């Protein structure tokens, strides 16, 4: 049994991590909560059961806590994760891993020194259509992969955050970046995972078009992002992320190969394979709802399993670093108006 402490009592903890941990009571216990905002930990302890800690130091000093879920603003991930690892706790850190490559590398180093697990919460690897696409590509179902295009859009974080329009995602000081970090990090990791290659260079435009803060002015981070990416294996892709998809979650992805096309989350099924000879195969899943429904995934269970079995995390710190490096390049490309190499 793994006792888990929740650091950050906001929407991502209540919508995803706590419910997911509650589904595996034979493996894990939501043991306690800490939040920097007064009263939030007590509120969550009363709602979900468990202990409210008055400080981070109190939580990390408690020998009953085996692991923590870091569910806070991106800029705080490095400090909180390093402190937790140094205190001997395993860490599942929300995505994106960090606001800078230097922070991500510091987190990886702390995990290596402590001998504790560090896993990054890129949960879309667990969606069944995504796993099926990887399986089909690796089997050569559409020949050699040439290009892909992927879109992920939501209405915006103000619709799910406990703080509404005052959410941390709209603050550059807290988040570092906007939609390309919040939403884009999902797809950056997912394409890295499915295609099986690192990123080489990017060409990006990341404007702020519609989202406004409490003062009525446009927010200081991007609310839409469009990127062309070239991967080290030669595959080229188009990525589009949005906080202005008012229909809800839009997550269609297509892979174009020499022998056919794979479409994920299309209008009529979860996975469609169309061959150049005219053959069409449709694949659905018993527990796969419509694409605008937010799913719980096995990310927390996978984290608990790697602790109990002493195996490598499914999404490593190095995977998280790959995402940060790509986002860095996307931001640089937007600033210069040209291609940016992924700096390693």
pLDDT digits (tens, 9 = 90+) for 219-248: 999 999 999 999 999 999 999 999 999 987
Q: How confident is the model at residue 285 (pLDDT cuts 50, 70, 90)?
A: confident
Instruction: Return the number of other C-beta atoms located less than 10 Å from residue 159's C-beta.
Output: 14
* Confidence at residue 161, expressed as pLDDT on a 0 to 100 scale: 78
pLDDT digits (tens, 9 = 90+) for 161-208: 777 888 888 988 888 899 999 999 999 999 999 999 999 999 999 999
Query: How do strand 145-153 and strand 118-121 relate by DSSP bridges?
Result: unpaired
pTM recorded for the entire structure: 0.94
Longest pairwise C-alpha distance within the chain: 64
Instruction: Give the whole-angstrom CA distance, residue 46 versus residue 130.
Output: 37
For Cα atoms 99, 76, 40, give the angle at the middle one, nearest 5 degrees.
140
Asked if the peptide bond before residue 96 counts as cis, ω within 30 degrees of 0, the response is yes
The answer, yes or no, to whether residue 62 has pLDDT greater than 90, is: yes
The answer, yes or no, to whether residue 274 has pLDDT greater than 60, is: yes
Q: How confident is the model at residue 122 (pLDDT cuts 50, 70, 90)?
A: very high
* Confidence at residue 294, expressed as pLDDT on a 0 to 100 scale: 61
pLDDT digits (tens, 9 = 90+) for 287-309: 665 655 566 789 999 999 999 99
Q: Mean pLDDT, the chain, as a whole number? A: 94
Distances, alpha carbon 103 to alpha carbons 81, 131, 222, in Å? 10, 29, 21
Instruction: Give the whole-angstrom CA distance, residue 150 versus residue 242.
Output: 12
Instruction: Give the whole-angstrom CA distance, residue 170 versus residue 26.
Output: 38
């Amino acid at each position: 049994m793994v006792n888990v402490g929740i650091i950050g009592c906001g929407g991502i903890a209540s919508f995803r991590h706590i419910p997911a941990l509650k589904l595996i009571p034979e493996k894990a216990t939501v043991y306690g909560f800490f939040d920097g905002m007064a009263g939030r930990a007590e509120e969550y302890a009363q709602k979900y059961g468990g202990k409210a800690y008055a400080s981070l130091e109190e939580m990390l000093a408690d020998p009953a806590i085996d692991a923590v879920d870091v569910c806070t603003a991106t800029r705080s991930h490095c400090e909180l994760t390093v402190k937790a690892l140094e205190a001997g706790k395993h860490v599942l850190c929300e995505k994106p891993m960090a606001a800078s490559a230097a922070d991500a590398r510091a987190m990886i180093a702390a995990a290596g020194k402590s001998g504790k697990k560090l896993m990054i919460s890129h949960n879309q690897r667990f969606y069944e259509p995504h796993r099926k696409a990887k399986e089909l590509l690796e089997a050569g179902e559409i020949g050699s992969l040439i290009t892909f295009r992927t879109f992920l859009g939501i209405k915006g974080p103000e619709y799910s955050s406990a703080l509404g329009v005052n959410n941390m995602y709209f603050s550059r000081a807290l988040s570092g970046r906007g939609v390309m970090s919040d939403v884009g990090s999902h797809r950056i990791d997912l394409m890295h995972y499915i295609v099986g290659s690192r990123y080489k260079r990017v060409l990006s435009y990341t404007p702020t078009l519609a989202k406004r803060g409490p003062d009525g002015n446009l927010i200081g981070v991007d609310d839409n992002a469009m990127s062309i990416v070239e991967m080290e294996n030669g595959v080229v892709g188009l990525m589009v992320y949005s906080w202005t998809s008012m229909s809800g979650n839009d997550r269609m992805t297509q892979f174009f190969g020499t022998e056919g096309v794979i479409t994920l989350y299309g209008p009529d099924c979860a996975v469609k394979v169309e061959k150049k000879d005219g053959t069409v195969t449709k694949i659905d899943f018993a527990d796969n709802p419509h694409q605008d429904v937010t799913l719980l995934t096995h990310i927390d269970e996978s984290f608990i399993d790697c602790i109990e079995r002493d195996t490598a995390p499914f999404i490593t710190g190095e995977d998280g670093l790959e995402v940060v490096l790509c986002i860095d390049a996307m931001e640089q490309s937007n600033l210069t108006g040209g291609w940016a190499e992924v700096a390693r």
